A and B are shown apart, each in its own frame.
Chain A
Amino acid sequence: AQKVTQAQTEISVVEKEDVTLDCVYETRDTTYYLFWYKQPPSGELVFLIRRNSFDEQNEISGRYSWNFQKSTSSFNFTITASQVVDSAVYFCALGSGETSGSRLTFGEGTQLTVNP
């Protein structure tokens, strides 16, 4: 069985603060993909990043960075110098097995509020 846990239900920060969203996953598959999506109030899930199980390199994209650690089954997401526009629900997701990208298991989501 697969499982994704986002222990932080809600996080509130002040603009320009750094914030890290935690994600812990469980799977028995050796090949899998991890994703982060952003869901603004409009409802559409916006793709942020995909990482496969064989690539543990951390990634940075502008103010966003991701830390993938297989040893702890974690895939954490950090926003540096947060902005009000970052306010949204963020989901971590896992896809594994043969159709690893087409059937995703999502975490419960973390509501991030960035206050001015």
Chain B
Amino acid sequence: KAGVTQTPRYLIKTRGQQVTLSCSPISGHRSVSWYQQTPGQGLQFLFEYFSETQRNKGNFPGRFSGRQFSNSRSEMNVSTLELGDSALYLCASSKNYNEQFFGPGTRLTVL
């Protein structure tokens, strides 16, 4: 059974640009959550999607957005990138509310 996949694995952008990250959940999982991991703030919840609807949102500015497609694949977008957006972005999928399985992450560097 394939795990959660995230693309790209590494990304370098400059300030002011925008970026789109992709996440494909485990087959049969309808919930996808996104997390940001930085050395200073640790692991923080961004948002969660279920059946193409955003169900939960963390405390991040509106520059961070996401969506989910009918096949449960999800994308997150960050507009007007700032240096502080450099982080490891982790996606997790869940079949029910009991556990989440994480992907390998996308490491974003903003120069």
Asked if A71 is an interface residue, CB under 8 A from chain B, the answer is no
| Chain A binder among B14-22, B60-68, B97-105 | B97-105
Chain A residues lying within 8 Å of B42, measured Cβ to Cβ, are 106-109
CA distance A50 to B101 in the complex (A): 12
Q: Give chain B's interface secondary structure class.
A: strand
For residue B107, which residue of chain A has the nearest CB?
Answer: A43
Look across to chain B and name the residue whose beta carbon is closest to the beta carbon of A93: B43
Given contacts A47-B99, A109-B42, contact A99 B48 (CB under 8 A): yes
11 pairs, A vs B, C-beta closer than 8 Å: A33-B97, A33-B98, A33-B99, A47-B99, A47-B101, A99-B48, A100-B97, A101-B96, A102-B31, A102-B50, A102-B55
Residues of B within 8 A of A101 (CB): 94, 96-100
Among A44, A95, A102, A109, the residue within 8 A (CB) of B105 is A44
A45 touches B56 (CB 8 A): no
Of all chain B residues, the one with the shortest Cβ separation from A45 is B102
Q: How far is the CB of A74 from chain B (nearest CB, A)?
A: 19
Q: Which of A44, A46, A98, A104 lies in contact with B45, CB distance below 8 A?
A: A104
Choose from B33, B96, B102 the contact partner of A44 (Cβ within 8 Å): B102
Q: Which residues of B contact A (CB under 8 A)?
A: 31, 33, 35, 42-45, 48, 50, 55-56, 58, 88, 90, 92, 94, 96-105, 107
Q: Could you say which interface size class chain A belongs to?
A: 20 to 34
Residue-wise, chain A 83-106 has the 8 Å CB interface mask toward B (1 for contact) of 000000001010100111111111
Instruction: Name the residue among B48, B50, B98 with the largest chain A CB count within 10 angstroms.
Output: B98
B98: which of A50, A91, A106, A109 is its contact (CB, 8 Å)? A50
Q: Is A42 an interface residue (CB 8 A)?
A: yes
Docked complex Cα distance between A104 and B94 (Å): 12
